[in-house]
Amino acid sequence: MGVIQLRTSASSPNRWVWILLGGIAIVFLISQMRGCGRDPDGLTFGSKVAIVTVNGPIMDSETWVRQLAMYDERSDVKAIVLRVNSPGGGVAASQEIFAKVGEVNQHKPVVVSMGSVAASGGYYIALRARIIMANRGSVTGSIGVIMEYPVMTSLMEKIGLEMETVKSGPLKDAGSPTRPVSEEDRAYFQDVVGNLYEQFVSDVATYRQLPESEVKVIADGRVYTGVQALELGLVDTLGTFTEAIALAGELGGITGTPKTVRPVERKPLLRDLLLGTMKQIAGEGLKEAPAFRWQWRER
């Protein structure tokens, strides 16, 4: 009985290796292109207007500061539209975005486009832009500071619960919900809120080129429509999001309808999901107790 021998070409394995490597290279190239300057409709090339969107309460600045910095460094981005749809939020976070907008605006024009609401901290971050554009029906202003915290002493009395507090100073537990509010507490918090308010008023006066005395008249916490804000000098012009993009393109020296680019959200990898789960398990039960925050926000 004869022996059947299967013969394979020595070059066959090498051919498949090269095909595999080539496929990997193509996938990598496409992923790099998709992550660099893509709008929802596909790839764009040439000069662009970048869109950075601030949606919701401003409790952390990291994402928006990073996006502004990224587009500041890109040579193909000639201008930035900061689309604001926020009722405000944390004072420090708003100040960090405010500072970054001013820094970027020195290198390339930043145009703010106000959506439905750009109030309190949402208005504050707009102050350093080259142009502030609101819709006629945008709600903006709300220049002021608010601090609030619960007082649960009556509830504790009803359920028979008492708290024993050991502290290093009389104001160390100021704001605690487990004891009555003293006049000293009120004076202390009012002083802090007043200082933050003066910072807000001073920046509005400086960057809107208005006398502080005039700003204080309108900075009583109330909101204004876009039309009212224009009359008061709080915004520069009225217009839509599309018009803001066109204006940014013009300021950036782009001819015709500008192409736009937005940040591409990276989908979480399996590694990220596993690390996130491990962190959640490790941190269970070790969460920081809730605390009050100083906020610039619309009421």
Long-range contacts from 254-259, C-beta under 8 angstroms, 24+ separation: 254/47, 254/48, 254/49, 254/78, 254/79, 258/47, 258/48, 258/49, 258/79, 259/39, 259/44, 259/45, 259/46, 259/47, 259/48, 259/49
Please tell me the predicted confidence (pLDDT) of residue 256.
92
Q: How far apart are CA 248 and CA 204, in angstroms?
A: 22
Q: CA Rg, the chain, in Å?
A: 27
Active-site annotation holder among 172, 182, 202, 279 = 172
Strands 77-86 and 88-90: unpaired
- Mean pLDDT value of segment 130-140: 97
Looking up tokens 């736009």, which residue turns up?
260
pLDDT at 17 over 70: no
Q: How far apart are CA 42 and CA 7, in angstroms?
A: 48
Angstrom distances, CA of residue 168 to CA of 165, 173, 174: 10, 9, 12
The answer to whether residue 172 is catalytic is yes
Q: Which tens digit of pLDDT belongs to each residue from 70-111?
A: 999 999 999 999 999 999 999 999 999 999 999 999 999 999
Contacts of 110 (CB under 8 A, 6+ apart): 68, 79, 80, 81, 82, 101, 104, 128, 129, 130, 248
pLDDT at 220 over 60: yes
Lowest mean pLDDT among 61-65, 166-170, 217-221, 292-296: 292-296
- Mean pLDDT value of segment 244-249: 98
The answer to whether residue 120 is catalytic is yes
Q: CA angle at residue 57 from 209 to 103, to 5 degrees? A: 45
Question: 59 — alpha (psi -120 to 50), left (phi > 0) or beta?
Answer: alpha
Task: Return the H-helix or E-strand segment holding 285.
Answer: none
Q: How far apart are CA 146 and CA 296, in angstroms?
A: 6
- Confidence band for 270, pLDDT divided at 50, 70 and 90: low
pLDDT at 217 over 80: yes
pLDDT at 29 over 80: no
- HSE-CB at 157 with a 13 A cutoff on CA atoms is 6
pLDDT at 117 over 90: yes
- Confidence band for 15, pLDDT divided at 50, 70 and 90: low
- Confidence band for 283, pLDDT divided at 50, 70 and 90: very low
Please state the φ and ψ torsions of residue 21, each to the nearest 5 degrees. -65, -40
Q: How far apart are CA 192 and CA 181, in angstroms?
A: 16
- Mean pLDDT value of segment 138-165: 88
- Mean pLDDT value of segment 223-235: 98
Contacts of 47 (CB under 8 A, 6+ apart): 76, 77, 78, 252, 253, 254, 258, 259
Please tell me the predicted confidence (pLDDT) of residue 153.
84
Whole-structure pTM over 0.95, yes or no? no
Please state the φ and ψ torsions of residue 51, each to the nearest 5 degrees. -110, 120
Please tell me the predicted confidence (pLDDT) of residue 297.
56
Look over the chain and give the mean of its residue pLDDT values, rounded to a whole number.
83
Around Cβ 87, how many Cβ atoms within 10 Å?
A: 23
Active-site annotation holder among 61, 86, 113, 120 = 120
Domains present along the chain, CATH in parentheses: 36-142+222-265 (3.90.226.10), 144-210 (no CATH)
Please tell me the predicted confidence (pLDDT) of residue 40.
42
Select, from the ranges 157-171, 218-232, 269-283, the one with the highest average predicted confidence (pLDDT).
218-232
pLDDT at 148 over 70: yes
